[in-house]
Copies of this chain bind each other. A is one copy, B any other.
Amino acid sequence: MGLSEAPGERDTQALLPTTQAMELRRRNYHVERPLLNQEQLEELGSRSSAAGTLQWRTWFRCSRARARALLLQYLPVLAWLPQYPVRDWLLGDLLSGLSVAIMQLPQGTFAIMSVMVGSVTESLAPDEAFLQASNSTVDVAARDTTRVQLASTLSVLVGLFQVGLGLVHFGFVVTYLSEPLVRAYTTAASVQVFISQLKYVFGLHLSSRSGPLSLIYTVLEVCWKLPETVIGTMVTAVVAGVVLVLVKLLNDKLRRHLPMPLPGELLTLIGATGISYGVGLQHRFEVDVVGRIPAGLVPPVAPSPQLFAKLVGNAFAIAVVGFAIAISLGKIFALRHGYRVDSNQELVALGLSNLIGGIFQCFPVSCSMSRSLVQESTGGNTQVAGAISSLFILIIIVKLGELFQDLPKAVLAAVIIVNLKGMLKQFTDICSLWKANRADLLIWLVTFLATILLNLDLGLAVAVVFSLLLVVVRTQLPRYSVLGQVPDTDIYRDVAEYSEAREVPGVKVFRSSATMYFANAELYSDTLKQKCGVDVDHLITQKKKLLRKQELKLKRLQKQNKLPKQAAASKATSISINVNTSVADIESNDVEGSKAEQVSAGTELEDIAARGQEDAKAPDMSSLKALGLPQPDFHSLILDLSSLSFVDTVCLKSLKNIFRDFREIEVEVYMAACHSPVVTQLEAGHFFDSSITKQHLFASVHDAVIFALQHPRSDPINPVLATKL
């Protein structure tokens, strides 16, 4: 698509002439060109600010293709349903739909949503509100009607929120759900599901719990009540589980000889219902069965807008949690099958389901891990499986419900647990992440523990916040390195890592592995000064102290001895120019120069003006050598800024301070390998001025090194050093 047309225009405009390309092809790595600093590079490359208006134009373009694309984007069913490969997929979808539908029967609504909705209805319509005056018992019918009304109104509100958020493209939040996070979250969720099924396997009656640590309490309660296990239930579950595992093994063995995998789950469910009915499991062995399923549909009811105000907060929380669960499940399957989830589309779809469902007195919906897993592993391929499952549920609700009355709950639990196998396998992530990426392992573990301990809603929030903070922390702990030249190349690498890389004498090359911004700018300067092997700050303090002494001595001499005017003036000039530069540097870095400094700067300037510049070429009395201070063993410092991805004011200030401080100890600073967006931001931040020009910024580290070697310390011909003062 667009392959033949699109590049046509570009070819003529921005491609290298073929002859030149031919030449490139023949060469090894051979480059011969003038040294390039940013200024020269911009001239050579004809730099202009990047045009940003083209995108808008395509955005507002109208065409038939675009209309079709939009239609397919908002109604993707139109794209895939007409191409549905009936022969390949229908059978799988049908079986999968049936299996899921049978699972839905007794499981009902999704656990997390049930808990959240339940707590809302219970707090807004508590038992006490329905005490009958006559006999102080609860009016169950009135209470349940109110609660159903609350729940369905809540559904409508949740739906409204989700559709709204989807339309304003709130779905971008899923980008914060990284893969280790999602995998840990779902592993934790499958542990939760596993624990929740234990009571059906053992036939226990547990108190219902929610909130932080409820999982731990449930496990403890299960252990506590284990002696009360109903043997019949456990046996049923184990038998069903073994059958399922055997069918799966059989499928694996025979997959080449069978036209399609055996529908193990469906067969097990139907078989179990039959056996349960035939043998009378419920009466003879106290096995819990699904029981009475109410038949018929209720008529649609309008939501009660007067409840909206009460429900708005909870509805928002449920909308976000429901979406987060759905999208993280969606992302797992997308990852597994290599397709992509449009999060805004999902939000709108989920919202519409809730909106329409709410009117029919439904619960807010989300996605259930256990049922999605069953749907996937029984061969479901498309939403057709979902449609079939819904249709089947509808038939069951209306008619067939009573047929499954005898299905033991333990069999359902076995189906779920066997299908959790894949999710629980994700525990091996811990090993692979330990070897591959410790930071991601940390995300995994924090997410898992938070989700296990704090439950699904709070755990997800903690995990997302933690993973974002970890990004910040990682950019805060960069690796700093001094670079050396790999012999006979233009390549510079960390001298600590590449033992053959050699520091160029007189030139330090420094780089950070992360972008520099407010949270690590101070660390950058500190590490730079430390890695240079010179106590820069101490040296500057000493220099200033000595200069101050010298100046005082000079003044005293002038006053007392009335030295020949010429010599004194020349000395004073050179000193005060130097002091003045440093003061000006501080001031430019300063926002509102303190009074004391202004006074001294002012005095100095006046001094210079008064004394004139009769003799500018006198030996520099303010140099480190003249003052008897040790000189650093390098004359140039090159900052490799290729890792800079954006610039903030703190970064700017730090760079300026590095220039100021190193120049104070007679080291000239150059920058290299800045990316274009960073150069633009440096310009916008008024970084380049008379003392730091674009001539200090080089196209590559090698350019800067060559320039630095050509212009060693205190070279009077050096144009850059000349502009500096």
Tell me if A123 is interfacial: C-beta within 8 Å of chain B: no
Which residues 577-622 of A have a CB within 8 angstroms of B? Answer: 586, 589-592, 594-596, 599, 602-603, 606
- Name the segment of A97-105, A129-137, A475-483 touching the other chain: A475-483
Partner of A180, one of B7, B474, B630, B649: B649
In the complex, the answer to whether A437 meets B647 with C-beta atoms within 8 Å is: yes
Which of chain B's residues have a CB closer than 8 A to the CB of A107? Answer: none
Does A146 count as interface, using CB distance less than 8 angstroms? no
Interface pair B594/A14, CB less than 8 Å apart: no
* Whole-angstrom CA separation of A251 from B596 in the bound complex: 12
Q: B15 touching A504 by the CB < 8 A rule?
A: yes
**Which of A313-321, A405-413, A510-518, A688-696 forms contacts with chain B?**
A510-518
Asked if A686 contacts B436 (CB within 8 A), the reply is yes
- In-complex Cβ contact of A21 among B20, B475, B709 (8 A): B709
Docked CA distance A499–B42 (Å): 10
Contact A48 B10 (CB under 8 A): no
Which residue of chain B has its CB nearest to the CB of A489?
A: B33
What is the bound-complex CA distance between A643 and B512, given in angstroms? 11
* Residues in A236-261 with C-beta less than 8 Å from chain B: 251, 255-256, 261
Cα of A35 to Cα of B25 in the assembled complex, Å: 12
Cβ of A152 < 8 Å from any Cβ of B?
no
CB distance from A363 to the nearest CB of B (A): 30
Residues of B within 8 A of A513 (CB): 645-646, 675, 677-678
Give 1 or 0 for each of A175-202: 1 = CB within 8 Å of chain B CB. Answer: 1101111010000000000000000000
Tell me whether A594 and B337 are in contact in the complex, defined as CB-CB below 8 angstroms, given that A44-B487, A649-B180 are known contacts. Answer: yes
A487 to B586, CA, bound (A): 41
Chain B residues near A709: list those with CB within 8 A.
21, 24-25
Q: Which residues of B contact A591 (CB under 8 A)?
A: 183, 335-336, 426
Q: Does A699 contact B (CB under 8 A)?
A: yes
- A649 engages B48 (CB within 8 Å): no
A594 contacts across to B, CB distance below 8 A: 336-337, 376
Question: A630 contacts which chain B residues (CB < 8 A)?
Answer: 1, 3-4
Are B14 and A648 closer than 8 Å at their CB atoms?
no
A335 partner residues in chain B, CB cutoff 8 A: 590-591
Fill in one digit per residue for A8-34: 1 if any B CB lies within 8 Å of its CB, else 0: 001100111110110011011111111
Question: Which of A273-281, A292-300, A449-457, A490-498 forms part of the interface with chain B?
Answer: A490-498
- Among the 9-residue stretches A344-352, A391-399, A700-708, A716-724, the one with 4 or more Cβ atoms under 8 Å from chain B is A700-708
Is A520 an interface position by the 8 A CB rule?
yes
Q: Is there an interface contact between A519 and B175, defined as CB atoms closer than 8 Å?
A: yes
A36 and B487 CA atoms in complex are apart in Å by 12
Q: Within the assembled complex, what's the spacing in Å between the Cα atoms of A377 and B596?
A: 9
Q: Please, which residues of chain B bring their CB within 8 A of the CB of A602?
A: 255-256
Contact status B256-A505, CB under 8 Å: no
Cβ-defined contact, B501 with A14, below 8 A: yes
Residues in A520-545 with C-beta less than 8 Å from chain B? 520, 522-523, 533-535, 538-539
Contact with B along A325-342 (1 / 0, CB 8 A): 000000000011110100
Is there an interface contact between A489 and B36, defined as CB atoms closer than 8 Å? Answer: yes
Residue A653 is within 8 A (CB to CB) of chain B in the complex: yes
Whether B497 contacts A676 by the Cβ 8 Å rule is yes
User: Which residues of chain B are within 8 angstroms of A271 by Cβ–Cβ distance?
Assistant: none
Q: In the complex, what residues of B have CB within 8 A of residue A379's CB?
A: 596
A141 at the interface (CB under 8 A from B): no
Bound-complex Cα distance A189 to B453 (A)? 40
Residues of B within 8 A of A251 (CB): 595
Q: Are A685 and B48 in contact (CB under 8 A)?
A: no
Contact of A519 among B28, B471, B488, B699 (CB under 8 A): B471
Distance in Å: Cβ of A289 to nearest Cβ of chain B: 31
A44/B675 contact (C-beta < 8 A), A29-B702, A496-B51, A522-B175 known = no
Are A511 and B422 within 8 A (Cβ)? no
Bound together, the chains give a CA A180 to CA B519 distance in angstroms of 12
Q: Looking across the interface, which residue of chain B has its beta carbon closest to that of A43?
A: B500
Task: Report the minimal beta-carbon distance from A52 to chain B, rounded to whole angstroms.
Answer: 9
Query: Are B25's CB and A500's CB within 8 A?
Result: no
State the Cβ distance, A258 to closest chain B Cβ, in Å. Answer: 10
Which residues of the partner chain B approach A538 to less than 8 Å between Cβ atoms? Answer: 1
A471 pairs with B517, CB closer than 8 A: yes
Whole-angstrom distance from the CB of A693 to the nearest CB of chain B? 18
- CB pair A31–B490 under 8 Å, yes or no, is yes
Q: Are A437 and B681 in contact (CB under 8 A)?
A: yes
A467 at interface, CB cutoff 8 A: yes
Q: Which residues of chain B have C-beta atoms less than 8 A from A24's C-beta?
A: 504, 705-706, 709
Beta-carbon contact of B35 and A28 below 8 Å: yes
Q: From residue 151 to 180 of chain A, which have CB atoms closer than 8 A to chain B? A: 175-176, 178-180
**Nearest residue in B to A534 (C-beta to C-beta)?**
B3
Q: Does A36 contact B338, Cβ atoms closer than 8 Å? A: no
Q: Closest B-chain residue to A590, C-beta based?
A: B336
- Residues on the B chain within 8 Å of A381, using CB: 596
- List the B side residues contacting A632 at CB < 8 Å: 3
B contact residues around A35 at 8 Å (CB): 28-29
Q: Is B592's CB under 8 angstroms from A422's CB? A: yes
Contact of A86 with B by CB under 8 A:
no
> In the complex, how many angstroms separate the beta carbon of A431 from the nearest chain B beta carbon?
13
**Residues on the B chain within 8 Å of A21, using CB:** 504-506, 709
Contact B437 A511 (CB under 8 A): no
Residues of B with C-beta under 8 A to A603: 256
CB atoms of B505 and A3 under 8 A apart: no
Contact (Cβ within 8 A) A533 B648: no
Q: How far is the CA of A381 from the CA of B594 in the complex (A)?
A: 11
B46 touches A500 (CB 8 A): yes
Instruction: Please determine whether B50 and A497 come into contact, CB atoms closer than 8 angstroms.
Output: yes
Q: Can you name the residue of chain B whose Cβ is closest to the Cβ of A647? A: B437
Residues in B with CB closer than 8 Å to A47 are: 493, 497-499
Contact in complex: A467, B504 (CB < 8 Å): no
A108 CB-CB contact with B under 8 Å: no
At the interface, yes or no: A642 with Cβ under 8 Å from chain B? yes
Q: Which of B6, B181, B495, B533 contacts A2 (CB 8 A)?
A: B533
Point out the residues of chain B lying under 8 angstroms from A15, CB to CB: 502-505
- What are the 5 A-B residue pairs with the smallest beta carbon separation, nearest first? A178-B518, A45-B498, A3-B630, A16-B502, A514-B645
What are 16 A-B pairs at a CB distance below 8 A? A2-B535, A14-B495, A15-B502, A21-B709, A24-B709, A29-B33, A179-B649, A261-B595, A337-B594, A436-B685, A437-B647, A437-B648, A439-B646, A491-B700, A513-B645, A514-B645
A21-B709, A437-B681, A478-B645 are known contacts; what are 13 more A-B pairs with Cβ within 8 Å?
A6-B533, A16-B503, A21-B505, A28-B34, A33-B489, A46-B499, A50-B481, A50-B496, A178-B519, A337-B594, A436-B686, A475-B646, A643-B675
